[in-house]
Amino acid sequence: MIFVWNCGFSMDIPNPSFSWYSVVLIVGSIAFFFFPWRRQRQPRLPLPPGPAGWPIVGNLFQLGKRPHESLYALSLQYGPLMTLRLGMQTTVVVSSPAMAKDLLKTHDHIFAGRPLIEAVKSLSHHKSSLVFADCSRYWRHLRRISTAELFAPKRLEALQHLRRDEVFRTIQLIFENKGKIVDIGQMVFCTSLNLLGNMIFSTSVFDPHNPASAGFKDTVCGLMKVAGTPNLADFFPFLRFLDPQGVSREMSRHLKALYDFSDTFIQKRLTATGQIVQRGDSEKDFLDVLLDSRSEDFTLIGVRALITELFTAGTETATTTIEWAMAEFIRNPQKLNRIRQELDEVIGCNRKVEESDLDHLPYLHAAVKEIFRLHPPAPMLLPHRAESSCETGGFVIPKDSQVLVNVWAIARDPAIWRDPSEFMPERFLGGENSKIDYRGQNFELIPFGAGRRICPGLPLGSRMIHLVLASLLHSFEWDLPDGMRCEQMDMSDQFGITLKKAADLKAIPKPRLPHHIY
């Protein structure tokens, strides 16, 4: 995701006459040598180091198809704070916990901006976005509503029964189709989608057997992929009207489908409000709150955009993380046995997992941390923008530079992690690593970001991921189809805003609990 910084300018100088040109030269010389600011001026700091680029295109060719890996390789040569020139844009890449902390905590107020990429301008989405808005009054309003009415601890506790019922419904559905191949990503996606549907609209929105749900998942995945595609129109502003890669056209198509989805529920609620006595505060869902919060600045367009982003981010992150976790456990039978032993000891075999059990499952929590480290949902987070020039580490980051935090690279640093490419939940059970959390304070592990732009949905996402993963592992044995061995699993990833599994994980469930439990 790239924001274009156009620093080009031109100036026409006419043929000067001797008299006025001489005056300007003399006055300029006096000012240069004798004014006080001249003596106090400090030498300008350099940009962070980085690879030499080609004329015009800069370092674009060095990104490759897997930028998170390419930038990690370059950081080993140029350091944890590195400058790239991508077309006409300056980009600074952060690849260490210390530099991430410096930018996202110490200088958080400077790097809290967002670059405005062409994809987000599709259908004018940027004008009403929470995710891509700068830290304006509008952004603070949307974040306050979302935090207080959807993600606050008291609200999450009050809606615990919705998460339990939706997860139980998923487990029952899998049980009823036992022996059949399950697309785990698709199943988890529908669970997350219906959970959000119940929290926002007070109703489940999709049937896992309905082809429309698969289409909706494809739309969300497509949007995430397009939004994360390096776009020539961002590197070179003069190409914007051409949309040479079709990024804006493709994004418009995906956004239109998601807008139509949100509009259906909004219009239905508006119609019902005109016919029925409005519900009391205790009965209101999130859509009621949003509609009641409308103002001259926050219109129905803003309501639609916020709902679209909540469904997009809320479903994709949870789905990606749980699918990776299931894949790693199936691929590592010893780890799978250990977590099942913990589940059996804490929960037993005569009931399903409840959310209240999660605090007593340390290996599960360690495994989720390890998945966030090994397969971060957003490998380079969302890009930040420097709202003013900033000096750090002996270098200067210019105003309007794009800043990328390569959390994938931080997770692969052997100076921080032993055997960084291995799935080892045990690393979080003892020693200093046991104190590391992913809520934005420990910069070795920041899959949701840090500072004021940390993902507001982290509290809900964390609960959902732990509950769904524990339920799937406790309720079923999982075998790979067609006699595939665990060593043959395709564990490659696909780069986008999210780092999803390239090959969908499909497995055959076999019940572990007495049948009456399901």
Judge whether 486 is annotated as a binding position: no
One-letter amino acid at 453 equals R
Return the H-helix or E-strand segment holding 171. helix 160-176
Burial of 192 (0-12, 13-18, 19+ CB in 10 A): buried
Q: How far apart are the first and last CA of the chain?
A: 44
Return the H-helix or E-strand segment holding 137. helix 137-146
- Sequence-distant (≥ 6) Cβ neighbours of residue 277 within 8 angstroms: none
- Sequence-distant (≥ 6) Cβ neighbours of residue 106 within 8 angstroms: 392
- In this structure, the strands spanning 500-501 and 89-94 are unpaired
Strand partners, 392: 395
Tell me which long-range contacts 123-132 makes (C-beta under 8 A, separation of at least 24).
123/252, 123/255, 123/256, 123/259, 125/255, 125/305, 127/301, 128/301, 128/302, 128/304, 128/305, 128/306, 129/305, 129/309, 130/305, 130/306, 130/309, 131/309, 131/313, 131/382, 132/382
One-letter amino acid at 35 equals F
What whole-number distance in Å separates Cα of residue 509 and Cα of residue 491? 20
Cβ atoms of residues 111 and 103 within 8 Å: yes
DSSP code string of 383-411? -EE-SS-EEETTEEE-TT-EEEE-HHHHH
Strand partners, 91: 84, 402
What whole-number distance in Å separates Cα of residue 236 and Cα of residue 399? 18
Q: Where are the beta strands (DSSP E) in 44-166?
A: 81-86, 89-94
How is residue 516 written in tokens?
A: 């009456």
SS3 376: coil
One-letter amino acid at 186 equals Q
For 84, phi then psi, to 5°, come to -125, 150
Annotated binding site for heme: 455
Q: Which residues are annotated as a binding site?
A: 455
